[in-house]
Amino acid sequence: MNGSTDVETAPWDAAEILDSPEAIAAYLDAAVEEARDDPGFLLTALDTVARAGNFSKLAREIGISRKGLYKALGEDGNPSFVTIWALLNKLGVRIEFHAVL
């Protein structure tokens, strides 16, 4: 076969499959593992899980504007721990600590 076929692809967005606290927790666990030396990677993962639901509603529920949440989770963002804590609570996940050996 010498012919070629045109295949259209679209960017994949993990936010489309993060539809439960269990899926969000698994995604964030994987991101933490990948992000050992890159906190920006985890910030990107937090942005992805926030986009998985109703971003505006989520922002309101944690007491921040939609624009403020976008800025906090953006590429140059630096969210407070209080914002991260509130976000994770609203998403139905929690932080756990484990010794790294």
pLDDT tens, position by position, 29-38: 999 988 888 8
In a domain, 78, yes or no: yes
In a domain, 8, yes or no: no
The domain containing residue 85 runs over which residues?
Answer: 20-91
In a domain, 80, yes or no: yes
User: How many Å separate Cα 25 from the centre of its chain?
Assistant: 10
In a domain, 100, yes or no: no
Question: What pLDDT, in 10s, does the model give residues 60-80?
Answer: 999 999 999 999 999 889 999
Q: Does the pTM of the predicted model rise above 0.75? A: yes
In the numeric block, which tokens belong to residue 60? 């309101």
Give dist(CA 73, CA 48) in Å, integer: 9
